[in-house]
Structure 1
Amino acid sequence: MTGADDTITLANVVRRFKGMRKPAVASLNATVRAGGVTGLVGPDGAGKTTLMRMLAGLLEPSEGEIKVIGLNPIRDDRALHARLGYMPQKFGLYEDLTVQENLDLYADLRSVAGEQRKKTFTRLLEFTALAPFTRRLAGKLSGGMKQKLGLACTLVGQPDVLLLDEPGVGVDPISRRELWQMVHELAGEGMLILWSTSYLDEAEQCREIILLNEGEVLWCGEPKALTTQMAGRSWLISSPDENNRQLLQKALRLPQVSDGVIQGKSVRIILKKDASMDTVADSLTLSPERLAQTPPRFEDAFIDLLGGAGAAESPLGAILRHVEGSKDETVIEARGLTKKFGDFAATDDVDFSVTRGEIFGLLGPNGAGKSTTFKMMCGLLAPTSGKALVLNMDLKTSTGKARQRLGYMAQKFSLYGNLTVEQNLRFFSGVYGLRGRAQNDKIASMSGAFNLRPIFNHTADSLPLGFKQRLALACSLMHEPDILFLDEPTSGVDPLTRREFWLHINSMVERGVTVMVTTHFMDEAEYCDRIGLVYHGKLIASGTPDALKQQAADAEYADPTMEQAFITLIHRWDKEHASGS
C-alpha cells in the first residue's frame, strides 16, 4: 500500500492571479506516486508551471490543500526543501563557472560535505557522463549537457522528490533520450518524479499522466489507455495530383477531420468521432489505394481531447505577395562552407543548395554545428572559407542588399522585451523601410493574421511563449521577404501552437517563399521537402524525410520514425569513424 510519505496529493487545489479572468489552476484533485515517472502534460498556459511552483512551496494555493511526501509545501517548507529537488524551466546554472564549480556551489547550498560529497560527485558525474568536462565552463556546454548538469545539481542533495519543469525543451533527440534513461533509473530506485512537458512523445514515456488545459484536469491515467480510445480514427492519405501541403489544407477544411499533419510522403489525418472515412475520401477524390489506416498515437488523442487542431488555414496566403521566379532556381547555396574557432572547425566544408519555394531543414544534435552553419547562411557570421550565397549574392560582400530580401526569426526571439507588441511591430517595419500609410497598413494586416490586436499594449516580455512566437514571426515578415530563416522557431511550444505555426509556413511556401529551418522536433522535419543532417560540423546525410528514414532502416526498425532515423544515422557515423573506416 502506498503511504502519504511517498505520494503527492492535491485536494481541490485552486490558484488565482490578480487580473486573470480564470484561475491558473482550477479545483485540481490528483495523486502522484513514487516508483515511476508521472507526466504533467498540457498546452501553453495550461497551469503546469504554476502547479510545479506550488508543489515546490514557491506559490501558495488560493484554495485547497497540497501534501508532498506528507508535508505542506508552505508550512513545512524547511523540512520539504531538504528532501525535494526542483529544476525549473530556466535552471540557475552559473555560466561563468565550470561544471565542477557549479556542483560545488550546489553542494555548499545543500550542506553536502566530506566523504559524502566526494561519493555524490563521483556518482553524479558518472551518471550524467559529465566526468570528462568538469573544467569546462557551463556557458560553453551544449544544450543537452546543460540540462544534464542542471539535473546533476538538482540531485546533489539526494532528494526523495524530483520536480522537472520542461527539461526537454531545446534538447536534441539523443540528449533527450539520455535524460529519460537517467530519470527512469531514478524512478526505478523509488524516487517520486513529476516531469512537466508539452512534448507528447515524452508523455508516452510516463507511467501515468495528468493532462491539464486552462488549469483544469482533462484526463488522468496511463497514456496508452487514452491512445486506445482513438482506434480506427487515424489515417494516412496521399494524392497523385496535389502536394502534401495542398492536400493537408483541403483535409483540414472538412467537418469530418479533427486534425492533420504531414508525415513523410503522406498526410496523417484524425477523424472526428463517428465520422466516415468514405465521406472524406469522396470529398478529397481519393481512390482506396491512397488510404491506409495507421495506429493511433498519444498526440492524436491529445489533440482530439482539446477539440481538434482549430485553424484550418493561415490568413497569410491572402495578404502576402506571390514571389516570382522559377521553382528550379537555386536561391540558397553553401559552397565548401567552413567556420573555424581557433583550431576547432564548427562547420567543416559543407555543401548544399535550396531551390525557390522549398522548405529545407537543418537537423543535428546540440553542438553539432548546425547553428553556426545557419548563422553563416543568414549573414550573421562570416565564414572562414567557402561561400554562403543567397539569391546568388555572397553574404560576405553583399550583406546589406541580400538582407532586404531575407526574413530571420532567431531561436531566442529578437524582440524588445520592454516594448509593447505594437511598438515591436512598428520598430521592425521601420527597420525594413516601411513608413506612413504603408507601415500602418502592414501592421494592421499582420496583427489581424496573427491575432495580436487584443495584446497590442502588452510588453513582449509579459507574453506567453506562443504569442512571443507569433509576434517574432510577424516582425520577420513585415517586408514580405523572398527567403525566411527560422532558427528553432517552435522550441518549447505545445502541439496546437506548432500546428498553427506550420500552417503559416505552408501558406508562405505556396506563395513562393523559400524557408530554411532548424529544429529539434523530429515531427517538424516531416514538413521539410529536404533535410540536411549536420554532425561534428559535417553534412553527414541529406535528402527527403523518407529518403533519410530509408537510409536508416535496419532489422530493428524496418520502418523507422524520423527520430529513430536521426539517432540511427548519427550512431552509424560514430561507429564507422571510430573503426577508422
Structure 2
Amino acid sequence: MNEPAAALIARGVHKRFLAKETGKIAHAVVDVSLAVQAGALTALVGPDGAGKTTLLRMAAGLMKADEGKLEVLGIDVAAHPQAVQDRISYMPQRFGLYEDLSVQENLNLYADLHGVPQALREKRFAQLLRMTDLARFTARPAGKLSGGMKQKLGLACTLVHPPELLLLDEPTAGVDPLSRRELWEIVRQMIQDEQLTVLVTTAYLDEAEHSARIFVLHEGKLLAQGTPEEIRRHARNLCFVALPPQGQPPRILQARLLDDAESVIDAVPQGGAVRFVRRAEVKSKNLDALLDGISLKPVEPRLEDGFMVLLRKRRDVPPLDTKALDTAASGDNQNPPENLDEIVIEVRDLVRRFGDFTAVDHISFSVRRGEIFGVLGPNGAGKTTTFRMLCGLLPPTSGFLQVAGVDLRHARAAARRKIGYMSQKFALYGDLTVMENLEFFGSAYGLYGTRLRERISIVIQQFDLAGSTDSASGQLPGGFKQRLAMAVGLLHEPEILFLDEPTSGTDPLKRREFWRRITALSEVGTTIIITTHFMEEAEYCDRIVIQDAGRLLALGTPKEVREQAGEKDAILSMEEAFIGIVERGRQRNGIAAVKEARP
C-alpha cells in the first residue's frame, strides 16, 4: 500500500448517503483501500451500484469521504481539492459539451476554463484533433455530431489541459465498436506518449482486459483486485463451449443452463455456440444430465468469466428467478402461438430524408412473429431513424412500411396500439411513483379496472418491482429504472416490443437477467426489435441487419453475417464481423463516391 509509484492511494475510505425515500443510510463505499499505479491504465469494475462513480468523484475532489483518507498525486484530496483538480482531468458519464457551439469553440471554451496559455493551445489542439480525427469537423456544432464523435470530442476537451491523472467514468457507454476502438487507441497513445495515469470505470469487461490492474467492487466493498490474469484465474478449468442442437438458437440452450443455478455460474451465446462457466463443486453427472448428450469443449477463461465467478460466490448475489419470468412472460397465453411464420413487419425501399441529408437510403427487410431481430450500426448510421419509423414515431419520406398489419403511412396511431417501446434514456415520469407510472401508462394503453390491476400485478411480479411500488421512479437505481421501463412497455401485451439500446451501460449480471426475460417473451410469440452496441447481444438474435450511412450492409442470421464478414476456419466474434463489414462498406461506398464525382 506504500508503493512509491502510486498516483492514487485510498486507505479505509467510507462514503454514506441519506436515502430521501426511506430516511435510511445508504453505504456507497465501505472501507475501501487500494493503490493506483502511476503511468498505467487501471480499471474499476463491478455491478450497478457498486460504488465506482462515487469513488471517482471523491478522487476528483467533488465530494469528501466520511471516513478514511484519499491521496491523489501525493495530495490529501479532502483538504486540498483545488490543488488536485489543477493536476487531473475528469470525464463523467454525461460530459457537458455545449451542443450549440462548434467543435473548435468547445475546445476553446475548455481551454479557457482550465487556463491553458494561448502559446500552448495551437499545438495541443492540433494533436487532439488529429488523434480524434475531428480536424475535418472543427466548424460543425457539437449537437450535430454522432454519438461516437461526441465522446471523442468530450475526451479531447478533457485533455486540453495535459493532466497527470485522467479519470474516465464509463467513457464508451452507448458507443459503437468502431468508435469504442478509436477512443481506446487515443487513451493508450496518451499513456504511452505522456506517461498518463488513467483510472476508468467500464461495463465492458473486454476493455478492462487491457488494464495493468483491476479492482472489483460490489456494494461499495472491494471484492477482489489483481492483474487481468489473476482475475481470470478464478474461472480456471471451469469454462466450456457447448454447441446447441441443429436449428436451435443458442439462447435456448443458454436459458436452460442459466436456469440450473446449482450447476452453472454463467452462460452466454458466442459464435453460434454457448460459452458457460460451471460451478467448481458441481458433479460431472449433474452437468451431463443438464446437457443431455451435448459435447463440450474446454476453453481458457476470460476476464468476464472470472468476474462472474467472484460475484456468484457472494451469497447476496442470488441467481435469477427464471421460473417466475417464464410464468409471467406467458401472461394469458400459456401456449406459444402457432403462426410463427407470419410476417409482422415489412419494409421495402424505405427512405427518410432531412432536407438534403438522406438518413435512411432504400432499405428493405421483413420480420416474422416471435423473432428477435437486431438493428445494428455505428453511431450516425441511421439505425435510430429506422427504429423511430418502425415505431410510428417518424413518417418515412418514401417506401413501404407495414407493422402489425398496419400501413404506417396512413395509420400510425393504430399500429402504436399493437407495439411496446423502451427508449435508451429513461422516459417515464420521475416524480411519479412506480405504481403511479404503471397506472398512468396502463390507462394510456386503454387498460382499466380489473384488467389494469391484473396486468400491473403480473408485470410487478415479472420484473421484481414489489418492494419499490411507492418509490419515486426518478430516484431508482439504473437497473430498477430499466426493469420499470420494460414493464411499462409490456403492460398492454403488445405484439411487438421495440427496445432501443436497453442495456447501454449495464453490467454483465443485469445483461444476463435482461436477456433471460427477452428469451421468455420470444418463446410465447412476442416479436422483439432491438438496437444494441454490445455485439455479444447480436448472438441472441434470430437475425440481424447492419447498416451504415443509411444503407443496408448485411442481413441474416448471426452465422450468415459472420460468414459474410469472412468467417471460414476460425470463428469470428460478432464484434470482429461488425467492424469488418462496416469498414469494407465504407471503403466500397467511398470508392463509388469518387467514381460518381468524376466527369
Whether the TM-score (by the shorter chain) exceeds 0.5 is yes
Mapped to 2, the partners of 1:61 and 1:390 lie a distance apart of 53
Which range moves more in the overlay, 329-338 or 386-395? 386-395
3-state secondary structure, aligned to 2:322: coil
CA contact (8 A) 1:4 1:69 kept: no
1:304 corresponds to: 309
CA contact (8 A) 1:252 1:312 kept: no
Which range moves more in the overlay, 226-235 or 491-500? 226-235
2:99 corresponds to: 95
Aligned pair partner of 1:363 in 376, 379, 389: 376
Offset at residue 566 of structure 1 (A)? 0.7
Q: Deviations over 1:254-293 (max 9, x none)?
A: 3211111222422222100132444312233224xx3222
Aligned pair partner of 2:326 in 317, 324, 339: 317
Offset at residue 441 of structure 1 (A)? 2.0
Mapped to 2, the partners of 1:115 and 1:468 lie a distance apart of 48
Q: Deviations over 1:351-395 (max 9, x none)?
A: 011111110100000001111111111111100010221123111
Offset at residue 465 of structure 1 (A)? 1.0
CA contact (8 A) 2:376 2:547 kept: yes
Mapped to 1, the partners of 2:587 and 2:517 lie a distance apart of 40
1:440-455 mapped onto 2 (5 Å cutoff): 440-455=453-468
2:202 corresponds to: 197
1:181 corresponds to: 185
1:262 corresponds to: 269
Offset at residue 295 of structure 1 (A)? 2.4
Q: Deviations over 1:395-450 (max 9, x none)?
A: 12121221111111111132111111111111111111111122122212211221
1:428-507 mapped onto 2 (5 Å cutoff): 428-507=441-520
1:392 corresponds to: 405
Amino acid across the alignment from 1:155: L
CA contact (8 A) 2:6 2:35 kept: no
1:276-287 mapped onto 2 (5 Å cutoff): 276-287=283-294
2:415 corresponds to: 402
CA contact (8 A) 1:332 1:390 kept: yes
3-state secondary structure, aligned to 1:13: strand
Kindly indicate whether residue 590 of structure 2 is the aligned counterpart of residue 578 of structure 1: yes
Mapped to 1, the partners of 2:320 and 2:490 lie a distance apart of 20
1:61-140 mapped onto 2 (5 Å cutoff): 61-140=65-144
3-state secondary structure, aligned to 1:489: coil
Kindly indicate whether residue 566 of structure 2 is the aligned counterpart of residue 560 of structure 1: no
Kindly indicate whether residue 233 of structure 2 is the aligned counterpart of residue 228 of structure 1: yes
Offset at residue 121 of structure 1 (A)? 1.3
2:533 corresponds to: 520
Offset at residue 2 of structure 1 (A)? 9.4
2:218 corresponds to: 213
1:158-177 mapped onto 2 (5 Å cutoff): 158-177=162-181
CA 1:312–1:239 in structure 2 vs 1: closer, same or farther (change >3 Å)? Answer: farther
Mapped to 1, the partners of 2:72 and 2:498 lie a distance apart of 45
Mapped to 2, the partners of 1:200 and 1:115 lie a distance apart of 40
Amino acid across the alignment from 1:317: D
CA contact (8 A) 1:409 1:485 kept: yes
Mapped to 2, the partners of 1:285 and 1:3 lie a distance apart of 52
Mapped to 1, the partners of 2:77 and 2:258 lie a distance apart of 46
CA contact (8 A) 2:7 2:165 kept: no
Mapped to 2, the partners of 1:491 and 1:448 lie a distance apart of 24
3-state secondary structure, aligned to 1:315: helix
Query: Mind listing any 5+ residue stretches in structure 2 that lack a counterpart?
Result: none
CA 1:387–1:325 in structure 2 vs 1: closer, same or farther (change >3 Å)? Answer: farther
Which range moves more in the overlay, 16-25 or 115-124? 16-25
2:296 corresponds to: 291
CA contact (8 A) 1:314 1:503 kept: no
Aligned pair partner of 1:246 in 252, 267, 271: 252
Output the TM-score relative to the length of structure 1. 0.96
Offset at residue 235 of structure 1 (A)? 1.6
Aligned-pair identity in percent equals: 47
Offset at residue 159 of structure 1 (A)? 0.9
1:419 corresponds to: 432
1:39 corresponds to: 43
Amino acid across the alignment from 2:581: L
Mapped to 2, the partners of 1:321 and 1:259 lie a distance apart of 30
CA 1:578–1:277 in structure 2 vs 1: closer, same or farther (change >3 Å)? Answer: farther
Offset at residue 58 of structure 1 (A)? 0.8
CA 1:374–1:277 in structure 2 vs 1: closer, same or farther (change >3 Å)? Answer: farther
Q: Deviations over 1:431-481 (max 9, x none)?
A: 111111221222122112211121112222211111110000000000001
Mapped to 1, the partners of 2:4 and 2:237 lie a distance apart of 41
**Superposition RMSD on alpha carbons, in Å?**
1.9
Q: Deviations over 1:476-511 (max 9, x none)?
A: 000001111111011011111111111111000000
Runs of 4+ in 1 over 6 A off after TM superposition: none
Offset at residue 102 of structure 1 (A)? 1.0
1:12 corresponds to: 12
Amino acid across the alignment from 1:129: D
Amino acid across the alignment from 2:319: G
Mapped to 2, the partners of 1:546 and 1:278 lie a distance apart of 31
Amino acid across the alignment from 2:394: L
3-state secondary structure, aligned to 2:115: coil
3-state secondary structure, aligned to 1:506: helix
Mapped to 1, the partners of 2:538 and 2:202 lie a distance apart of 20
